[in-house]
Amino acid sequence: EKSGYPHFMLKEIHEQPRALKDTMTGRIDPERGDIRLDEITIKAEDLENIDKIFIVACGTAYHAGIVGKHAIERLTRIPVEVDIASEFRYRDPMVDDRTIVIIISQSGETADTLAALRESKKRGARIIAITNVVGSSVSREAEDVLYTWAGPEIAVASTKAYSTQLVSLYMLALKMALEKGTVDREEAVEIMREMKQLPEKAQRIIGGEQKIKELAYQYSKWDDVFFIGRGLDYAVALEGSLKLKEISYIHAEAYPAGELKHGTLALITEGIPVISLVTQEQLYEKTLSNIKEVEAREATVIAVAMEGDENIAKNANHVIYIPRTIPFLTPVLTVIPLQLFAYYAAVARGCDVDKPRNLAKSVTVE
Ligand code: F6R
């Protein structure tokens, strides 16, 4: 059932163009400027009575939530907090009947996430679930459910669940913003048009995986790797770093690029790989100056940048280009080279990619 692939993880990375397409099919209609999410019943009146949104999840789903916060706040102007499920319910969260809680869980069975859902419900919040498993506990207990149509995810490391969670969050943000009237139709249509092109652009990245494989083999001998980025690039850096740790056992850390000089720069020494994400136009110069700081310490800079950015090559040892899209949507694409990098680094190190040590696919204990 691996359809000729050596591992489920590689198969699932490669399935992303299809999974993204399936998740958006029938839901996004740029021609009519409309988002149709049949399972989401939230209306303009409901949103008027909402002060705050929480996004609660664990691991990779939590990282998707960070991107979701950015999308929802930008389009709806409703404040969003992102929380780790195993922390959320122990701090007497400020959740009531004027709160929406978005629960993200691929499996729909993660114990802490489910407990957060129940706690929020008890406090009167309206629950929207984003999950990949029809009939899962999370899907049964939420009022509204938005399914990611990623198909079964077998590898312990989550890949296509993450990218489909991202497009689900974008759709949800657009839907709420259109209901609330906080996005103009033209901008919404432009975002939708760009979203429709993501599957094909994802496919182009996968088509160029040979170069990423070579880099991963080359740097798989390092014991430490850093990921840096600003804004949405930082959100993706967190996910890239988790993926690398989880399956290759390489120590990896993600930092907001501007935070390095507040301590972490002390760890940046000659040769150390620093994977630097620079896809956000409005933050470009700022991130570039941080790249120069690590370059000055003779780190090896592997940049992930937008196609056409030739300037970055002057400040990086290697550049991985991703197809151009609006900066707001880049996480869906930027994550793919990082997934492939983690995968090939793990293969190069002889790790059991689909079943990393100490980890389970579905964490049903707290
Ligand atoms: C990492 C990974 C985990 C899960 C986390 C939540 O690759 O897969 O971090 O994302 O355990 O799982 P779900 O989404 O099933 O609640």
Q: Which pair of tokens denotes residue 45?
A: 């009146």
Ligand 1 centre to CA of 98 (Å) is 28
Predicted pLDDT of residue 356: 87
Active-site residue, selected from the candidate residues 196, 286, 355, 361: 361
Q: What is the pLDDT of residues 117-151, one digit of tens each?
A: 999 999 999 999 999 999 999 999 999 999 999 99
Nearest partner of 201 among 20, 328, 22, judged by Cα: 20
Q: Amino acid letter at 7? A: H
Query: Across the strands, what pairs with 229?
Result: 256
Region 233-246: what's the mean pLDDT?
98
Average pLDDT, the chain: 96
Predicted pLDDT of residue 359: 87
pLDDT band at 364 (very low <50, low <70, confident <90, very high): confident
Predicted pLDDT of residue 207: 98
Shortest-distance Cα residue to atom 11 of ligand 1: 59
For residues 226 and 244, give the distance between their C-alpha atoms in angstroms, rounded to a whole number: 10
What atom of ligand 1 comes closest to residue 113's alpha carbon? Answer: 16
pLDDT at 363 over 90: no
Shortest-distance Cα residue to atom 6 of ligand 1: 58
Ligand 1 centre to CA of 353 (Å) is 15
pLDDT band at 360 (very low <50, low <70, confident <90, very high): confident
Ligand 1 centre to CA of 106 (Å) is 7
Between CA 319 and CA 325, with CA 321 as vertex, the angle to 5 degrees is 145
Asked if 102 contacts 70 with a C-beta cutoff of 8 angstroms, the reply is no
Asked if 279 contacts 251 with a C-beta cutoff of 8 angstroms, the reply is no
What's the length of the chain? 366
Q: What is the pLDDT of residues 62-102, one digit of tens each?
A: 999 999 999 999 999 999 999 999 999 899 999 999 999 99
Q: What is the pLDDT of residues 12-65, one digit of tens each?
A: 999 999 999 999 999 999 999 999 998 899 889 999 999 999 999 999 999 999
Contacts of 29 (CB under 8 A, 6+ apart): 35, 36, 192
pTM equals 0.97
Above 0.90 for ipTM, yes or no?
Answer: yes
Q: What is the pLDDT of residues 305-323, one digit of tens each?
A: 999 999 999 999 999 999 9
pLDDT at 8 over 90: yes
Q: What percent of the chain has pLDDT over 70?
A: 100
Cα-Cα-Cα-Cα dihedral sign, residues 72, 40, 195, 138: positive
Is 213 marked active-site?
no
Query: Across the strands, what pairs with 28?
Result: 35
Nearest partner of 98 among 45, 145, 41, 52, judged by Cα: 52
Region 184-194: what's the mean pLDDT?
96
Shortest-distance Cα residue to atom 9 of ligand 1: 59
Strands, sheet with 144-147, edge to edge from the N-terminal-most edge strand: 80-84, 52-57, 99-105, 126-131, 144-147
pLDDT band at 365 (very low <50, low <70, confident <90, very high): confident
pLDDT at 226 over 90: yes
pLDDT band at 1 (very low <50, low <70, confident <90, very high): confident
SS3 track for 115-180: HHHHHHHHCCCEEEEEECCCCCHHHHHCCEEEECCCCCCCCCCCCHHHHHHHHHHHHHHHHHHHHH
Ligand 1 centre to CA of 59 (Å) is 5
Predicted pLDDT of residue 358: 87
Predicted pLDDT of residue 290: 97
Between CA 183 and CA 201, with CA 166 as vertex, the angle to 5 degrees is 95
Q: Which residue did the predictor score with more confidence, 135 or 366?
A: 135
Predicted pLDDT of residue 362: 82
Pocket lined around ligand 1, Cβ cut-off 6 Å? 58-61, 105-107, 110, 113, 157-158, 242, 246, 362-363
For residues 351 and 14, give the distance between their C-alpha atoms in angstroms, rounded to a whole number: 20
